[in-house]
Amino acid sequence: MTIGQANTEALIAPLSLAGGGFAMLALDQRESLRAMFARAGRVPVGDDTLRRFKRQGIEILTPHASGVLLDRPLAVTGERPAGIAPGCGLILAADVLHHAPGGHIDFTSLDPLATPAFIERVGAVAIKLLVIWRAGRDRAERADLVSAFIDVARRAGVASLVEGIVRPDGDQPWTSARQRDNAIIAAAAEFSAFRPTIYKAEVPGYSESDLSRVYAESVRMSQVVAGPWVVLSNGVRQADFAGAVRLACEGGAHGFLAGRAIWSDVIGERDVGPALRTRSARRLDQMVAIVEHSMRERVSGGMAGRAREEDDDG
């Protein structure tokens, strides 16, 4: 084992399942969460509504997860949020999301208050940066942003998670599913060059209700990402996500960091707590089981391969 591998393993250990892999919960949504409550008829939607939902999600769902992603300042203020289950690592969102009211994220920047001192004070074991990727545009700016983020993580002594979200160049939609597939792989190759501890990707090869390309595109992803990578759930139908996680893991992913696919359907409930305890917790457990099975298969496959090599040597 190299020094770099040992350091990576030490950094990811607080976010890992016992058998390896990641089952991480995202509760860092900000204005998008406000919009979800508004669409469900909860108007006006104040910060207290968002904070209450995050507190419930933390208390009910983190016992089922290996890590939880939270934002500053709605969920993380001056200390580790109460209610995070023991053994569930805190990931701090270190990004500022820039967008028009109710619109898609146009670009992101590094949160100047997410300093090494703040990261230590709140007990985070990792930080996350979302980056918008557009072909042929803003590569130098992205490089500066990701480099600065990686440096903060290094100085804080925590894991770094870079999340790449691809967009077409300009206002036109993707010309084909293949064009978007290629963009997801190209973004992964670009960001992986900065050596984040974990790369967080849109599900490779996914299009609505179609999982047929996920495995093959996940294999492509594994060929360009130097370290472990996980999938996010934004843009994936809730009913499709478990299958997408299974296929992505078969193609080399190490798990997921997801929110909407786990809890989005409880937003309109009169009493969110019971819905989180039943539907969302069961859904999260199902996906944990998928990752655990994939990691066992990966280990047993590797052991079988080594055994065959030893037999050949003998």
**Residue 4 has which token pair?**
């770099």
d(CA 214, CA 247) in angstroms, rounded, equals 6
Among 259, 231, 258, which Cα is nearest to 246's? 231
For the purposes of burial, counting CB atoms within 10 Å of the CB of 168, is it exposed (0-12), middle (13-18) or buried (19 or more)?
A: middle
Q: Which of 30, 54, 72, 200 is catalytic?
A: 200
In this structure, what DSSP letter does residue 137 have? B
Judge whether 200 counts as a catalytic residue.
Answer: yes
d(CA 4, CA 196) in angstroms, rounded, equals 12
User: What is the DSSP secondary-structure string of 263-308?
Assistant: HGGGTT-SSHHHHIIIIIHHHHHHHHHHHHHHHHHHHHHHHHHHHH
φ/ψ of residue 178, rounded to 5: -60, -40
Alpha helices (H) along 164-213: 177-192
d(CA 78, CA 291) in angstroms, rounded, equals 33
d(CA 14, CA 3) in angstroms, rounded, equals 18
Residues in contact with 164: Cβ distance below 8 Å, sequence separation at least 6, in sequence order = 131, 133, 184, 187, 188, 190, 191, 199, 200, 201, 202
**Active-site positions?**
200
